[in-house]
Amino acid sequence: MTATTVMRWAALCLLVAGVLLALTAGGSRSVQAAGTRYAVTVVPGERVEVRVTSGVARAVTLAAVMPGMGHALPPVETVEAGPGRFVAAGPVFTMDGVWELVVTVSGQRGEELITVTVLV
């Protein structure tokens, strides 16, 4: 095998790896969880969205913790984007990885903390 052939194969492998990475990146999956008063669906992304699927919420706050790295971030307020839809007013996650997200829901049924694990 010549050096040119090796370089072509290496370039092809890098191209395939890049395409696979592009196809799988940004594919954040929603996470569903329920407490005793509310149920939520969390949609990770640049601005995290929380959909309150059971119960009527007035406010939602998000607090992210990355146990593997020892990171705990201050709570982030959300803005109501529609009935039962709340979008983070700022960044929630500082890096990629596994996070525990504490979703505090306040509404007609009182206040409840629901914790979900999110892969960013």
Q: Which domains does the chain carry?
A: 28-119 (2.60.40.10)
Q: Is 62 left (phi over 0), alpha (psi -120 to 50) or beta?
A: beta
DSSP three-state, residue 76: strand
Residues in the chain: 120
3-state helix, strand, coil in the chain (%, to 5): 20, 50, 35
pTM given for the model: 0.76
The span from the CA of 105 to the CA of 50, in Å, is 10
Average pLDDT for residues 80-97, to the nearest whole number?
96
How is residue 25 annotated by DSSP?
T
Mean pLDDT of 23-47: 85
For residue range 95-105, list pLDDT tens digits in order. Answer: 999 999 999 99
Mapping DSSP to helix (H, G, I), strand (E, B) and coil, where does residue 37 land?
coil
Q: Is the pLDDT of residue 60 over 90?
A: yes
Q: What is the pLDDT of residues 103-118, one digit of tens each?
A: 999 999 999 999 999 9
* Whole-number percent of the chain with pLDDT over 90: 75
Q: Which two tokens stand for residue 32?
A: 């569903």
The angle subtended at Cα 56 by Cα 50 and Cα 61, nearest 5°, is 40
